Amino acid sequence: MPSDGAKSQTFQPKASMAHTSRLPTSAQVEIHPKLEQCVKAHLSKPWQQPIHAHTQAAFEKVHKQLSQTPKPIVLDSGCGTGWASVELAKRYPDHWVVGVDRSIDRLSRAPTLPANVYLIRAELGDFWRLIRQASWPVATHYVLYPNPYPKARHLKRRWHGHPVWPDLLTVGERLVMRTNAQVYALEWAQALNLCQQKNVDHRELNCDEVRRHPLSAFEKKYAASGHALFEVTSQRPDLPSPQA
């Protein structure tokens, strides 16, 4: 079943999505001075934390299902209720769209899903490593409005400061991250460059266009609140051929 247990229903954004949203605030207004040190440390030492059992089981289930009808994959990391996953399915009708989130509550509020969408409850850091091991054909990987952890002391909680960052970079030929936190976007772009990713592009989105065609529920809320929205895109260098 494509929803992997998520309840199907006609989707309407929650009323709170219409409320004015505040920007994340922090005393940190520039790229963290320890970002380069942090990224290079994670590049030199692979993350070895054991995979959670529920993530392993969820991955094996969806991997078996997708393998029966091979297609390119679009990954929606941190999919929440699946709003963006459904929108991505419209934009990529010839791909599988896999949305991943750790919250049972958010996934339980999923919309009715198109036939090419799977929503999975899993830990993202584990799921990315399993994708890497299985060599999934991820064409585009979306990380939309991740928690910016705006306090400077929380650098290592941000994905680009987390030990899983090198694994994240292997997932998808193209990587797209959007945020309403400018420092997060700047750091993400710098971390991509430190890791020699290709065609790194950082830009501010056109909010009028976003309001007309929001990609996620958070994006809709942030654009309606007048936030500046940023997108950072990159291309993955060619991966080494697997050893015989």
Give the CA distances from residue 133 to residues 42, 56, 70, 220, in Å, rounded to whole numbers and listed in that order.
18, 12, 17, 35
Confidence of residue 14 (pLDDT cuts 50, 70, 90): very low
Of the candidate CATH numbers 3.30.56.10, 1.10.3720.10, 3.40.50.720, 3.40.50.150, the domain formed by 50-235 belongs to: 3.40.50.150
**DSSP character at residue 16:** G
Domain ranges of the chain: 50-235
Higher pLDDT, 184 or 28: 184
pLDDT exceeds cutoff 50 at 62: yes
pLDDT exceeds cutoff 50 at 145: yes
Q: Which token pair is 244?
A: 């015989």
Higher pLDDT, 112 or 17: 112
92-141, pLDDT tens digit by residue?
999 999 999 999 999 999 999 999 999 999 999 999 999 999 999 999 99
pLDDT exceeds cutoff 90 at 2: no
**Helix, strand, coil percent values for the chain (each to nearest 5):** 40, 15, 45
Higher pLDDT, 24 or 51: 51
Render 79-109 in DSSP notation, one character per residue.
Answer: -TTSHHHHHHHHH-TTSEEEEEES-HHHHHT
Strand partners, 166: none
Query: Which residues have CB under 8 Å from 188's CB, separation 6+?
Result: 159, 160, 177, 179, 202, 232
pTM of the shown model? 0.89
What pLDDT, on a 0 to 100 scale, did the predictor assign at position 13? Answer: 34
